[in-house]
Amino acid sequence: MVMERLNSNLYLQNCYIMKENERLRKKAQVLNQENQALLCELKQKLSKANNSEAKKSATNIPDLNMSSTSNPNAPSSSQP
Taking alpha carbons only, the member of 40, 19, 38 closest to residue 30 is 38
Residue 46 lies in a domain: yes
Residue 22 lies in a domain: yes
Residue 32 lies in a domain: yes
Q: Which residue segment(s) compose the domain that 38 sits in?
A: 2-56
Q: What is the pLDDT of residue 73?
A: 55
Quote the pTM value. 0.57
CA atoms of 26 and 38, how far apart (whole Å): 18
Write phi, then psi, for 67 (nearest 5 degrees).
-75, -170
Q: What is the pLDDT of residue 8?
A: 97
Each residue of 12-63: pLDDT tens digit? 999 999 999 999 999 999 999 999 999 999 999 999 888 887 777 766 666 6
Residue 67 lies in a domain: no
CA atoms of 44 and 36, how far apart (whole Å): 12
As a residue count, the chain comes to 80
Structural domain total, the chain: 1
Residue 71 lies in a domain: no
Residue 61 lies in a domain: no
